[in-house]
Structure 1
Amino acid sequence: MLGSILIIVAAWMGWKLKALTVTGALSAVVIGFMSLAGTGARGLILLGAFFVSSSLWSKYKAKNKAAMDEKLAKGATRDWKQVAANGGPASICSMLFLTSGNPVWLICFAAAISSANSDTWASEIGPISKRDPISIKGFKRAERGTSGAVSLLGTGASLAGAGFIAILAIPLFGLPPWTGFIIFISGFLGSVIDTILGAYFQVSYKCAVCGLETEKERHCGQAAMKVKGNSLLDNDLVNFLSGAAAVLGAYIAIL
């Protein structure tokens, strides 16, 4: 009962603080209950660590990152698709643990959250770097917020984000210390997969009015022209697939 109340209160607070849209808050409730059913309060704590830390980093130097909003499909306020994309792989692992009782799914649950945290920290901290990032496609300087572009600061943040969740997961779930390395590596791997998919396959558009390359289908009040990628492979799907890749990596490593 207490866990259920905490889920609803957390979602409500996320909406009040404009970290979540209404649909995002509802999605967070679903993800929360799925995690609670399988992993209990421990899973909620790990999810909470991801959500709170990521939200705080999104607010850090927000004015410096405001210019990126024109490139990104969505801002810092997360809708249901973003919540499902980041929390979906973990909640599925929670359900698998509930039905099977196999502790490998606890490790995979933590790996999925590690991946989401790794990618989010990189996305929120990397753009405040003093130098523009380098695109892994062509290895040339790119504008901040460009999918598939990396920086030294962003990579460090990605490693720290994965490690943060791995360190928390060990005492929370009573896992052997060596599994922390698997969670850490799998989480960082998920972030790397996200970068690769973003650079080569994620859909990108170009505004017909101002010429800006953006993730938005419409810009300057008009439909933008697709310049690369698959229309179905937007940022939300890329995030979900990278989390799934982290789960697969952890599962294979344990076997």
Structure 2
Amino acid sequence: MKAIIAVPATLLLVYRAYSKKSLTPGGIFAAVLTAIAHAVHPWNLPFVLLIVFFLAGTRATHVKEKVKASLTLKSGGNSGGEGPRNHVQVLANSLTASILSLLHAYQLRSRRQTLLASPNDAGSLCFAWGGDLLVIGIIANYACVAADTLSSELGILSKGQPRLITSLTLRKVPRGTNGGVTLTGLAAGLLGSVIIVTASMLFLPFCTDETSGKLGGGAPWSVEQRRTLILGLTLWGLLGSVVDSVLGGLFQSSVKDVRSGKIVEGEGGVRVLVSADEASHHHGHERGQHVAADIKAALLHGEGESAVEDTDPYSEAAEGASRPDRYDARNKHRRPSFGDERPSRVVENGWDLLDNNDVNFLMAFGMSVGAMAVASWYWQVPLWSVFPSGQAGAV
């Protein structure tokens, strides 16, 4: 992309992110690096998709922002809401596309040099039918992350309660639950995918009849082939939002505040910490079982009623010992709970293996590679052609 366009556009991107508080300072720095990685590509497409995704995502974030903030809680105790995105969140959505964009830029420049030396082995410089798999991966990345972003930001406003996609009964769950889906969210995800695919069709340098037979030209596209590409990428983007919900529902724990019934969100997409007692409450009240075991052991050893009393750290202790204050903040054994010692937070669903950023990156990477694999099979183009050493016979 020409620097005369990329530099002002990047500056405007930074200004908007700063003025709208869409990104943290670290997020702005990561966004600038991402913009540079996209701007060095000879085509306008990667940089345009980055800008379109950013604008669509931030616009969706600010739709009924106060209403959405009241539907969840932040881990710090305040109202929920997305808040400024940090560098990890930026890279989770765009790192895969940045790598693919740099790889394809290298391929195009290598082809241009080969074209000057040996025109017959150069390959096409435009986007040909049955051509570059990396282009499919770039578009698929942004179609999926845009679908996921709009689905999350707008789906939470659905009038109907979300249903857990990983539940066999599709049980209803609180708004903001990882893996919770609604028809509104799916429709919003489809919209996000359509936005990205539409922008792609406008800025892709398709090979045409005019470029066919010329140096750097390639096989032209028919109307039917374009329709196939549009439909395939659009549905793939929607599928990406569904895959993200499945991954989130399985491998990302959703923590619910018992008092309000709302989901607690980790700021910056990180995990929401749950105390050991609260986690054991979710897995069969293990703490109660351990206490019962201690009492039983004391009775078996014949220590009698005094031993039973000693198993409770908050009971009247042995003579000469002081009774700890269960509500004292300095007490390291204090448990965040109601007055009746029930946990104030419980795990609604999911295994605590990944945080939100891990899920987003895993989805974006997997769906991008998956789209290239499908295109490789459909076009009968070797998948290893995405690497610089395998590009010669790809087109």
Q: TM-score, normalised by structure 1?
A: 0.88
Cα distance change on mapping 1:150 and 1:144 into 2, 3 Å: same
Matches within 5 A, 1:108-127: 108-127=137-156
In 1, the alpha carbon distance for the partners of 2:153 and 2:180 equals 13
Cα distance change on mapping 1:148 and 1:39 into 2, 3 Å: farther
Matches within 5 A, 1:1-255: 1-2=3-4, 3-38=6-41, 40-70=43-73, 75-101=82-108, 103-138=132-167, 139-175=170-206, 176=221, 177=226, 178-205=228-255, 213-216=263-266, 223-225=273-275, 227=347, 228-231=350-353, 233-255=354-376
Question: Any conservation in 2 of the 1:106–1:173 contact (CA below 8 Å)?
Answer: no
Larger deviation, residues 169-178 vs 42-51:
169-178
Amino acid at match of 1:253: V
Question: Any conservation in 2 of the 1:36–1:44 contact (CA below 8 Å)?
Answer: yes
Question: Any conservation in 1 of the 2:147–2:191 contact (CA below 8 Å)?
Answer: yes
In 2, the alpha carbon distance for the partners of 1:124 and 1:163 equals 16
In 1, the alpha carbon distance for the partners of 2:56 and 2:151 equals 12
What residue ranges of structure 1 are gaps of 5+ in the alignment?
none
SS at match of 1:38: coil
Q: TM-score, normalised by structure 2?
A: 0.58
In 1, the alpha carbon distance for the partners of 2:184 and 2:368 equals 25
In 2, the alpha carbon distance for the partners of 1:130 and 1:208 equals 22
Cα distance change on mapping 1:18 and 1:202 into 2, 3 Å: same
Question: Any conservation in 2 of the 1:186–1:249 contact (CA below 8 Å)?
Answer: no
Amino acid at match of 1:118: A
Larger deviation, residues 177-186 vs 69-78:
69-78
Cα distance change on mapping 1:143 and 1:121 into 2, 3 Å: same
In 2, the alpha carbon distance for the partners of 1:58 and 1:124 equals 6
Offset of residue 213 of structure 1:
4.6
Question: 1 or 2, which has the higher helix percentage?
Answer: 1
Amino acid at match of 1:26: F
Question: Any conservation in 2 of the 1:206–1:224 contact (CA below 8 Å)?
Answer: no
Question: Any conservation in 2 of the 1:205–1:216 contact (CA below 8 Å)?
Answer: no
What residue ranges of structure 2 are gaps of 5+ in the alignment?
109-130, 207-220, 280-346, 377-395
Match of 2:291 in 1: none
Amino acid at match of 1:235: N
**Count of matched residue positions in the alignment of Structure 1 and Structure 2:** 250
Work out the percentage of aligned pairs sharing the same amino acid.
Answer: 29
Cα distance change on mapping 1:223 and 1:244 into 2, 3 Å: closer
Amino acid at match of 1:117: A
| Higher alpha-carbon Rg | 2
